[in-house]
Amino acid sequence: STVTELLSSSRKINVSSAALWECRTSAVEDLFDRYKLYFDKYDVDKKGVLSIDAIHAIIERACDDRPRILAIVNLVDAFGSSKSKELNLAEFTTMMNYIGEAIELMTPYAAGDDIDSDRKISSSGIAAAAIKLYERSKRNTLDRVEEKLSHINSIITMQGVEVEDNNNGPNPMDPDFNSFCGPNEMRYLALVSHNGMKETMMKFVIANKNVLRKFCLTGTDSTMRMLRRVFAGDDTVMFGPSCASGPLGGDAQLVAMLCREQLGGVIFFQDPLDAHPHNGDIESLLRNTKIYNIMHASTTTSATMMMHTLRSGLKNGEPELLPSFFTTLQCPSVARYKNAQDKVIMERVAHMEEEKVDVWIDESYSSRGEF
């Protein structure tokens, strides 16, 4: 295939770089494979990148016109992610796709116009057009992202949640829903917050109460009292045991529940700007969330994402999205640790057996008076 044929194919499939990598339609896969063949041909030193000279040669062949070197530099700057003035395969694929779109838009008869059909298209002009199309696409994407995030930023930062208004959750992403299982069919969800994060935790609970009420909730003393206040009058909410305050052993109690396979997840809002007298218990709790591989969120952002996952799993009947609430998991390194412990025990047992034999021999000779 020639570069021009590849560009002709790309004009039929207007996809972004992410789609080229992840979309699994046969048409996109075929286009990507053909781009890769051309990439490999010009990647003569097999470093996985194309130099400005290689890209210059490709554009020249595609447009049958020698582009200005500045136009190629601008292309590499626009589509490349590093300062090395090179393009990897993903960047090259994205660039070629937008060049194909630029050629389509600049071709006089692309819309059925036969006037000046023999007019030559400047390769430098095509490069500039491709950059403009790419930048416009990025701006449109960022605008869409900003629009999507506009109503959740206040939830993540907890700036737009009123503590006193507890009747209607302010989170538009937290409508009520039916769960495929009840709170008593899952392990507890623990909520913990330091003094400097108490108000943040309360706002988070109010903003996500329709997801949280699907779980049996537990936590340290003051957080549990806050939960009972937020869910006052809601008889459907189930509460697990209330632990002591953190400095009085509450975090250690949660560790014990974790080890007894009673916890499925922990939301722990720590105050990073304050010292804590029970730091050892805090570290123990965090370490055991890793050992038992349960769901754990320590910031409002990660906790908000956790809420989305929990909602999706419960609403759509997908327990695989929240496995630690149903089964016991472990950190992958636990198996290696247990194997090492078994080896230590076996070596110790073997050593003890050797000592027993030596003692028996000594006693045997001693009884016969041979010492």
Instruction: Supply the residues annotated as catalytic.
Output: 251
**Six-digit token string for 150:** 């506009």
Q: How far, in Å, are 3, 38, 67, 94, 289 from residue 10 at the CA level?
A: 10, 14, 21, 10, 48
Burial class (CB in 10 A: 0-12, 13-18, 19+), 26: exposed
Backbone angles phi, psi at 329, to 5 degrees: -115, 170
H-type alpha helices, the chain: 3-12, 17-22, 26-42, 52-63, 69-79, 89-106, 123-150, 153-157, 198-207, 209-212, 221-230, 250-259, 279-291, 300-315, 333-367
Residue 166's nearest CA partner among 212, 219, 221 is: 212
Amino acid at 275: A
- For 249: left if phi > 0, alpha if psi spans -120 to 50, otherwise beta; the answer is left
**Six-digit token string for 217:** 């909730």
**Six-digit token string for 253:** 């109690």
User: Is 213 in a helix, a strand, or coil?
Assistant: coil
Q: How far, in Å, are 139, 158, 165 from residue 208 at the CA level?
A: 31, 11, 13
Backbone angles phi, psi at 253, to 5 degrees: -65, -40
**Six-digit token string for 221:** 């003393």
Buried b (16+ CB within 10 A) or exposed e, 42-74: bbeeeeebbbbebbbbbbeebbeeebeeebbeb
Q: Which residues contact 240 (CB under 8 A, 6 or more apart)?
A: 188, 216, 217, 218, 262
Q: State the Cα–Cα distance between residues 330 and 285, nearest whole angstrom.
A: 15
